[in-house]
Amino acid sequence: MSNHFGAIIERIEQGNRFLVVSHVNPEGDAIGSLLGLTLALRSLGKDVVAYLEDPVPGIFEFLPGSETIVHTLEGEAPFDATFAVDCGQMNRLGDNFNKFDGMGSVMNIDHHTTNDEFGELNVIFPDASSAGEMIFDLVTEASIEITPGIATNLYVAIHTDTGSFRYSCTSEGSLRKAGVLVGKGADPWTISTQVYENHPACKYKLLAIVLATLNIIDVPGAKGYKIATLYVTDEMMDSTGADKGLADGFVNYARGIEGVEAGVLFRETGPEEYKVSFRSKGAVDVADVALSFDGGGHSHAAGCSVSGPLDTVIETVVTALKTSLAGQE
Ligand SMILES: [Mn+2]
């Protein structure tokens, strides 16, 4: 057994009261890793608070332990240590969290290539498909028994971050670990029906409008690369009654088109403020492009925020992508 988590396991043994946190706009890996680690620490008799600044999306409310997640830390200090999972930068843990005093030393467990090592201890594996895989390794290394609750959370973390074992980050290890988790009580079909067959109707109404914004752009050069863009405005959200998180996966429709190397989704987040999500098939490292706009992520999936009128934002981002893709010629 490898020994990547030795220093963190030592802190677990020494401490008693822990805080576990993950990023704003939490998705499957953030919540599954947070809860997997929380339940594992609680199984050791530790006193653990699980915190997310933002609400848990409805499709993840079935996850064991989800009902114990808190969204305020008032009166909770102090902690012996805080575990940040699936989070590349401290500020992504949320403004309120960053104002919190009493978090103790920060243990940073993450798989984003753009992680800035904000913790006192940092275990960063960019090759891991998900933070969930890393929590699996931590739990295994610490000889903590994987209960059905832990298994369900870590399976969801791995399953969602690998795009149901389709993305380039899917490895022998991720499949093997998922298999172990199924053996420990994670039920693939129950989980799939909860996560993938359980969308609110307004999501499909929104998708229909968003797909109508599809624009496919040729990148000059011999390889014939294409970029596809989609956008979502507040007005589209309002007219369909959808809330902001529902559009997050739509960017994959842009990448899924024949000949398209990079898909981009622009989502209005404020007056002249857009969240930009990138997906690449591999010819362009979108983490690099996102980083040039102060964002981050992975080579095939990344994000950032850009201010300005929508047309200008799209043009600026597409130009950066074109430049990057032209450099691959
Ligand atoms: Mn992740």
* Two tokens, residue 109: 């467990």
> Which homologous superfamily is 6-196 in?
inorganic pyrophosphatase (n-terminal core) (3.90.1640.10)
* Two tokens, residue 251: 């960017």
- Ligand 1: centre distance to CA 24 (Å): 12
- Ligand 1: centre distance to CA 329 (Å): 30
Residues 191, 156: contact at Cβ < 8 Å? yes
At 180, give phi and psi (nearest 5°): -60, -40
Alpha-carbon torsion (16, 22, 27, 28), positive or negative: negative
Give the C-alpha distances (Å, rounded to integers) separating 19 from 38, 76, 256.
8, 9, 39
Nearest to 165, CA basis, from 138, 136, 132: 132
Residues 209, 241: contact at Cβ < 8 Å? no
- Ligand 1: centre distance to CA 165 (Å): 14
Domain extent listing, the chain:
6-196, 201-326
- Ligand 1: centre distance to CA 131 (Å): 5
- Ligand 1: centre distance to CA 229 (Å): 23
- Ligand 1: centre distance to CA 226 (Å): 27
329 residues of the chain, pLDDT tens digit each:
456 899 999 999 999 999 999 999 999 999 999 999 999 999 999 999 999 999 999 999 999 999 999 999 999 999 999 999 999 999 999 999 999 999 999 999 999 988 999 999 999 999 999 999 999 999 999 999 999 999 999 999 999 999 999 999 999 999 999 999 999 999 999 999 999 999 999 999 999 999 999 999 999 987 899 999 999 999 999 999 998 788 989 999 999 999 999 999 999 999 999 999 999 999 999 999 999 999 999 899 999 999 999 999 999 999 999 999 988 76
- Ligand 1: centre distance to CA 224 (Å): 31
- Ligand 1: centre distance to CA 126 (Å): 10
- Specify the length of the chain in residues: 329
Q: What pLDDT, on the 0 to 100 scale, is given for residue 2?
A: 57
Topology agreement, domain 6-196 and domain 201-326: no
Q: What pLDDT, on the 0 to 100 scale, is given for residue 327?
A: 82
- Ligand 1: centre distance to CA 223 (Å): 31
Q: List for the chain the helix, strand, coil content (%; round to 5).
A: 40, 20, 40
Question: In the CATH hierarchy, which top-level class contains the domain 201-326?
Answer: alpha beta
- Ligand 1: centre distance to CA 15 (Å): 26
Q: What pLDDT, on the 0 to 100 scale, is given for residue 1?
A: 43
Q: Ligand 1 (ion): which residues have CB within 5 A?
A: 29, 86, 130-131, 161
The rounded distance, in Å, linking the Cα atoms of 34 and 54 is 13
- Ligand 1: centre distance to CA 26 (Å): 10
Residues 228, 252: contact at Cβ < 8 Å? no
- Ligand 1: centre distance to CA 86 (Å): 5
- Ligand 1: centre distance to CA 246 (Å): 18
- Ligand 1: centre distance to CA 87 (Å): 8
- Ligand 1: centre distance to CA 269 (Å): 22
Q: How many Cα neighbours within 13 Å face the side chain of 89?
A: 13
The rounded distance, in Å, linking the Cα atoms of 186 and 31 is 15
- Ligand 1: centre distance to CA 110 (Å): 7
* Two tokens, residue 134: 């890393």
Which residues 6+ apart lie within 8 Å of 183 measured at CB?
Answer: none
Q: What pLDDT, on the 0 to 100 scale, is given for residue 305?
A: 97
